[in-house]
Amino acid sequence: PGWTMYMISHFHYDPVWWNTQGAYTSVWTEDPPGAAKQNNAFALVAAHLEMARRDPDYKFVLAEVDYLKPYFDTHPQDRADLLRFIADRRVEVMGGTYNEPNTNLTGPETSIRNFVHGIGFQRDVLGASPATAWQLDVFGHDPQFPGMAADAGLTSSSWARGPHHQWGPMAGAGDPRRMQFRSEFEWIAPSGLGLLTHYMPAHYSAGWWMDSATSLAEAEEATHKLFSELKSVALTRNVLLPVGTDYTPPNTWVTEIHRDWNARYCWPRFVCAVPSEFFDAVRAEGVHPSPQTRDMNPIYTGKDVSYIDTKQANRAAEDAVLGAERLCVFAALLSGARYPEAALAKAWVQLAWGAHHDAITGSESDQVYLDLLTGWRDAWELGRTARHHALEVLSAAVYADLPSVVVWNPLAHNRTDIVTVRLGSPVGGAVRVLDADGVSVPALVEDDGHSVSWRASGVGSLGWRTYRLLEGAEPSGWEPVDGVEIANEFHRLRVDPARGGGVVSLVEVASGRELIGPGAVGNELAVYEEYPAHPDAGEGPWHLLPKGPVECSSASAATVRAYRSPLGQRLIVRGAVGEVLRYTQTLTLWDGIDRVDCRTTIDEFTGADR
């Protein structure tokens, strides 16, 4: 007695996966038609609305702005019904985000803008009241995500991947009772804020497959079996059953079950519902959910390394746009010029779009990958251009009478780091760099005189330092020295040429602690043979699928050369991994910088199947 299962009708939508946004939105269909009955976003929204018009018991979920806004814009004839269903709580708009972002691969500001755009449309345009972060398919979260969601006004979240397995603990005839905690818990961020969260043990497609039943009785039997499994890990006498999967129309049996089952049985009740009804019922029982603070990152092999250039492009664009925003504020105040809000707003939309879990993770098709790179490039160009113009204005105010190089720090904290100036006309083998007080600082000349580097110390947040470049008397490049060890004030590093130039010792000077484990190496390259496709699911270039045979750089000897310069010390390692590839690794310790730089380049690659 007292048990209720809330059947939540939904469809999951990926705007960028095997197909492009345009195709997924308006023209794509499942060909050949399959059991899932998948269709494009416009057809799906129309189908669910029509089901709600015909059947007063039908309730459903709409979530992502990436299909909802285009539909709302292009189907004005459906707006009144959609808004009426929202007001009557028969449609619940979920998410509070622009899409389902994979926030463990983007900067936190991109997550914040995802909330800004999502909440802005769902609440202020549709008049909805989004309360639940609907992160069904996301492959991992920033640990701070629940805190950001709470700050955005959300009170709950629900998702299907992790913390147990990419398809949940019930995948492969698994048992939900192997879960580490109940399916409802309090997901808490480091900030202390959190969300009441429902984790879907049977994944977000759990209830969809009753659609394939040949009779109502068969569909009810399948639904009751799911209830019996899900209730074993429920926190309260309430169970959430997601009824839908990727791109799916309304389920054949869900409202029939709602009417027939409850007419014949007192308990458990099976009801068509929206998520807020489920979360309200969970809270009403007064049970305190356990606090969970982990990042909830599932084991989804390959998502962090597939198409690594997408992650690099995203981070470069984020840095450019964030720096541009900060600097443009002061440039506008100083010069009276107009703040470039349209350009930067467009850049953030591109970044929010690219944060989707099938974009930034690299799990998309080649065609989608090419489309996405255009978006990241656009965001980077917009941010870089705005930042450049702002710095022109600000630097002109700093130059005073003497031409100088101005080093700016666009970050929110003070910074000491190496800066490099690229020169069109080369300097000679030596150069003097003077700070604002006329004191000479060590400098390094590289690239045949086309670049000059030095350490800029203690540059304040949104602050600057000025320097002048003059002719020098002594060469200031990299000079070869003997040995296989380098050091600075913070670290002491040694490599072993016999083990591929691997780092066999990295000592933290302040504590004397060795950071490399006994017998291990710190910068080893490993090349694995892979299966041509997933041996079970058959999907995805984003999976890492090693067969077992592996060749490592530590198995062969490498050449190691040590160098020193006015700015620090360096080791250059050149080696090979069997007959598969040849590589160069550059390990640098800069004076006064608490960091180890390791850059690896592949000079030659012959392992086409690896």
DSSP string, 318-382: HHHHHHHHHHHHHHHHHH-PPP-HHHHHHHHHHHHHHTBTTTTTS-S-HHHHHHHHHHHHHHHHH
Which band of pLDDT confidence, cut at 50, 70 and 90, is reported for residue 79?
Answer: very high
DSSP string, 136-171: TT-S---TTHHHHHHHTT--EEEE-S-SS-TT-TTT
**Is residue 178 over pLDDT 70?**
yes
Which band of pLDDT confidence, cut at 50, 70 and 90, is reported for residue 461?
Answer: very high
Higher pLDDT, 298 or 482: 482
Sheet holding 156-159, edge to edge: 132-134, 156-159, 194-199, 184-188, 291-292
Q: Do 217 and 175 meet the contact criterion of CB atoms below 8 Å apart?
A: no
End-to-end CA distance of the chain: 57
Cα of 597 vs its chain's centroid, Å: 24
Sheet holding 451-459, edge to edge: 415-422, 451-459, 443-446
pLDDT value of residue 476: 86
pLDDT digits (tens, 9 = 90+) for 216-260: 999 999 999 999 999 999 999 999 999 999 999 999 999 999 999
CB atoms < 10 A from the CB of 361, how many? 25
Three-class SS state of 260 = helix
pLDDT value of residue 102: 94
In sequence order, what are the beta bridge partners of 563? Answer: 480, 570
pLDDT digits (tens, 9 = 90+) for 20-70: 888 888 888 888 888 889 999 999 999 999 999 999 999 999 999 999 999
CB atoms < 10 A from the CB of 331, how many? 25
d(CA 223, CA 447): 68
Which residue type does 339 have?
Y
**Is residue 428 over pLDDT 90?**
no
d(CA 314, CA 308): 10
pLDDT digits (tens, 9 = 90+) for 580-592: 999 999 999 999 9
pLDDT digits (tens, 9 = 90+) for 261-309: 999 999 999 999 999 999 999 999 999 999 998 767 777 778 888 889 9
pLDDT value of residue 400: 62
pLDDT value of residue 427: 85
Please state the pTM of the whole predicted model.
0.91
Scan for tokens 């209720």, then name that residue.
Answer: 4
Residues in the chain: 610
Which band of pLDDT confidence, cut at 50, 70 and 90, is reported for residue 608?
Answer: low
Sheet holding 479-481, edge to edge: 479-481, 559-565, 568-577, 581-590, 597-605
In sequence order, what are the beta bridge partners of 199? Answer: 159
d(CA 183, CA 185): 7
**Is residue 542 over pLDDT 80?**
no
Tokens of 348: 């953030």
**Is residue 167 over pLDDT 90?**
no
d(CA 121, CA 67): 12
d(CA 117, CA 232): 38
pLDDT value of residue 486: 98
d(CA 245, CA 266): 29
d(CA 345, CA 482): 53
Q: Report the largest interatomic distance among the alpha carbons of the chain, rounded to a whole angstrom.
A: 96
Among 34-43, 379-388, 534-543, name the one with the lowest average pLDDT.
534-543
Mean pLDDT on 570-574: 98
d(CA 274, CA 223): 17
Tokens of 295: 């990042």
pLDDT digits (tens, 9 = 90+) for 99-136: 999 999 999 999 999 999 999 999 999 999 999 999 99
pLDDT digits (tens, 9 = 90+) for 497-513: 999 999 999 999 999 99
| b/e burial code for range 567-587 (CB count within 10 A of at least 16 → b) | bbbbbbbebbbeebbbbbbeb
d(CA 496, CA 503): 7
Among 412-416, 595-599, 606-610, name the one with the lowest average pLDDT.
606-610
Tokens of 228: 């019996």
**Is residue 329 over pLDDT 60?**
yes
pLDDT value of residue 30: 85
337: left (phi over 0), alpha (psi -120 to 50) or beta: beta
Tokens of 172: 């492969």
Tokens of 250: 């309304």
pLDDT value of residue 508: 98
pLDDT value of residue 402: 64
d(CA 327, CA 11): 42
Tokens of 384: 């870089």
